[in-house]
Amino acid sequence: MLRNELSQTILEVKEITKRFGGVEALRGVSFKVNKGEVVGLLGDNGAGKSTLVRCISGIHPPDEGEILIAGKAVKLDSPMDARKAGIETVFQDLAIIPEFDVVQNLYLNREILSTNPVLRWLGWLDAKAMAKRSQKSLNRLSSRIPSLSEKIVNLSGGQRQAVAIARAVSWGAEIVIMDEPTAALGVEQSAQVNELIKLISSQGVAVLLISHNMQHIMETCDRAVVLYQGRSSADVAIRDVDKNALVSLITGASGSLLAESA
């Protein structure tokens, strides 16, 4: 059942075009993502998914078109601009440091300095505050991570994903982009990540999910947006399609099907 939050558009891309020399990677891509909605971004290799994610993440500013957050056009010239706009991206490599512990990864490049003016000037960190907030963030996700002091290298793939997702939503993110979050995981760990996605979406966070796993998309998403040769070729409610239909849309066998989702 679709949630009430789905009536509130949080992200809209309008006619996004991106060129690299003579290659037009994106050609007028448009779609919306609503608050609390999980939208699968699908497409074959070379369809433009990665380029689009980089545009929304502030890595590659689009050549044409607009990106709107809560109805307001934003200029995303860097990943920091995207974060300030409420967009966090969890890439496939997770960008976490295996030899750091959970807290160090959650606060990587966002460390809290000591409240003591002298210690703050010396660059001392407020370890207690970071630990307390880290625990709160992981509690929000009903995390199964055994200890905040555990090094990432000792965690399972699902637990590492939990740390990456917790870091994304800890900073007030309204939109989380996830790139192949279950690609290297087993069945049980993939199920845990699916539950995390459903949990943060139930809390009003919009999720844009890139995945080649059709079962993952069917189980987790409300809608699917399909890119084909750099264009948005389909926008369908998951309840209206099956896995075979999605594959046909991805390969172009079904032609264009730009449908307004409910």
- Kindly report, residue by residue over 89-132, the tens digit of the pLDDT: 887 666 778 889 999 888 887 888 888 888 888 888 888 988 88
pLDDT band of residue 1 (cuts 50, 70, 90) is very low
Last residue of a domain, one of 114, 147, 173: 173
Residues 162, 33 within the same domain:
no
Percent of residues, the chain, with pLDDT higher than 90: 45
Residues 158, 76 within the same domain:
no
pLDDT band of residue 2 (cuts 50, 70, 90) is very low
Residues 31, 63 within the same domain:
yes
Residues 179, 234 within the same domain:
yes
Bridge-based pairing of strands 23-34 and 9-20 is antiparallel
What is the reported pLDDT for 261? 42
What is the reported pLDDT for 5? 47
8-state DSSP, 222: S
How distant, in Å, are the alpha carbons of 56, 119, 189 from that of 65? 12, 47, 38
76-83 long-range contacts, Cβ below 8 Å, gap at least 24? Answer: 82/56, 82/57, 82/58, 83/58, 83/171, 83/173
pTM as predicted: 0.82
Residues 182, 71 within the same domain:
yes
Last residue of a domain, one of 113, 147, 173: 173
Residues 162, 105 within the same domain:
yes
Residues 203, 256 within the same domain:
yes
Residues 100, 160 within the same domain:
yes
**Per the structure block, which two tokens stand in for 57?**
């993440």
What is the reported pLDDT for 257? 56
CA distance 244 to 97: 38
What CATH number did the domain enclosing 219 receive?
Answer: 3.40.50.300
Residues 118, 102 within the same domain:
yes
- For residue 199, the enclosing domain spans 1-86+174-262
Within its chain, how far is the Cα of 13 from the centroid?
Answer: 15
Residues 262, 135 within the same domain:
no
Residues 60, 162 within the same domain:
no
Last residue of a domain, one of 173, 207, 226: 173
Query: Total structural domains in the chain?
Result: 2
